[in-house]
Structure 1
């Protein structure tokens, strides 16, 4: 019956840390209508006329800080490791391909390889634990658009989210143990941010999102597909796995872009508040990322660390992402076979 296909998709990374490649990446990323959800004309003016010309040189400088001469982008490096390890785990009955939503390797090329291999079915896993239209939704829209042009379409299935996958939760908790969590004053679960308007648009009830201060802190039928609610649930499960009480951790959101309100509280503000309270050592999880990248190894380990020290704190310690943790490969295998 042929091999079964698996398509792993992460967000993407520039082909190099050079400004032209970063500009190309940002243009593709930010022109996605699910990422900046405004009219196409307004988006083009904003992205190509304002954001990218100013942001590309600055982002390129940051990428150069984390780029390796041997392995290049950490996101691509660890994603390729995950692909290879999962392929080894699944064996010859499966064909595992990796793609990036933006830039290389492309979703189109990965799907073509699966099609040419005559796979009997395709399991698509967007490597974002929590569902968001701007990440998981964009990946699946792209996959469906491409596959819709095939004359023969195999069985295709998608993993909506895996924010509560027990093996993933255990992997994050395991990664934290090497840092002796009990020696820190407070723990942050810092997730990638999203504009509040995207959260409101995702509320199919039209009567839940942002209607109360605690609308995201408990997962219910009304918010089960909500990125923020799934984030709070992930943090709760990791904390429970580690025996961390509610007063010992804070959920927050990073990487804000623009002036519109985003999901709150903002990580930078929480860090400032922690310093004002006399906290000296913070341990930071980034459970929206399964592979270390600019947002973890630089934004948290460098920028937030420097901000915290400037306000009187001593140390911000990043809990490494899942990367090549065998438990995460177990989780991926479970998703493929489940």
Structure 2
């Protein structure tokens, strides 16, 4: 049944991408991304010296080359796939659906303008950050950026935020069913590779100040900290998906990718596991990246290209990256169901404000 509520709009918000693979565009994107105080949470001057003086000058050309290796004719895979999700969701909704990015284009302000052009009397916008798990460098910064642009534009409509959905049954089912066809082949292990974070971020995000990475087996010991703990939430997602798929415990593992810098990050690192798994007898590997709902540089290049090369070079026989959910029908149905439920007055998916 198609929902009709003329005073509501929807914004699907993803991470973002450079406008092109040209080095200046990639440099601009990296500066915006890495200068975010919730990504590299150092004092401004130190962050500026580190990002502008060391990281971006040394990384921009290499990153541009990586983007070129995965770029599509239509543009950035992440942006194109988010647009495809928008169209698929819009097909089942009468309310207008737009997209926004935390970094790059289109911005939340662009999305608000498009919604207001369609309905100048808009009363509410449902913002769905496309991050399953809570982290200050992903969900938190996206929400705060969307709220900041909402205030700067003096928007009259209410901004309603959908909370992280890491253990929502619809998400778990969609994730599991998107993976299931790949489990028909012979494999030794499924590696759930999540975007990594500095361990300091986990401790910093703990509102109790005494639980995360301090209590033994902290991810399985009940605590209010779990509402803000990325490590707990990715563990929960993995366990629920593995249970849904009937994967025995010895057939799956968790790792963390995209490590930057020398400080302590969440372990084990994906690159370390890819290098050592063949020596441990894991020759046929399936790898999936549930922190991303849309394929992007971190999945298509870091895992499917560089990760595969490392695993095979280290003695592996076969390596299959399971794509993100992208526009899998069950994922699209989940987004539509959540938005329809919110419009109908169901608040269980919302951030309490």
Question: What are the ranges of 5 or more consecutive residues in structure 2 without an aligned counterpart?
Answer: 342-353
In the alignment, what sits opposite 1:234? 237
In the alignment, what sits opposite 2:277? 274
User: Could you tell me the TM-score, scaled by structure 2's length?
Assistant: 0.91
Q: 2:225 aligns to what SS in structure 1?
A: coil
Q: Which moved more, 1:176-185 or 1:328-337?
A: 176-185
Question: What are the ranges of 5 or more consecutive residues in structure 1 without an aligned counterpart?
Answer: none
User: Could you tell me the TM-score, scaled by structure 1's length?
Assistant: 0.95
Contact 1:181 1:283 in 2 (8 A): no
Contact 1:95 1:114 in 2 (8 A): yes
In the alignment, what sits opposite 2:189? 186
Give runs of aligned pairs for residues 1-338 of structure 1, distance below 5 A: 2-69=6-73, 71-91=74-94, 94-116=95-117, 117=119, 118-151=121-154, 153-181=156-184, 183-212=186-215, 214-217=217-220, 220-338=223-341
Q: Distance in 1 between matches of 2:323 and 2:216?
A: 31
Contact 2:211 2:223 in 1 (8 A): no
Q: Distance in 1 between matches of 2:81 and 2:243?
A: 27
Q: Distance in 1 between matches of 2:115 and 2:72?
A: 30
Q: 1:180 aligns to what SS in structure 2?
A: helix
Root-mean-square deviation over aligned CA pairs = 1.6
Structure 1 residue 151, shift from structure 2 partner? 4.3
Structure 1 residue 252, shift from structure 2 partner? 1.0
Aligned structure 1 segments of 4 or more residues deviating by more than 3 angstroms: 149-152, 217-220
Contact 1:252 1:266 in 2 (8 A): yes
Q: 1:90 aligns to what SS in structure 2?
A: coil
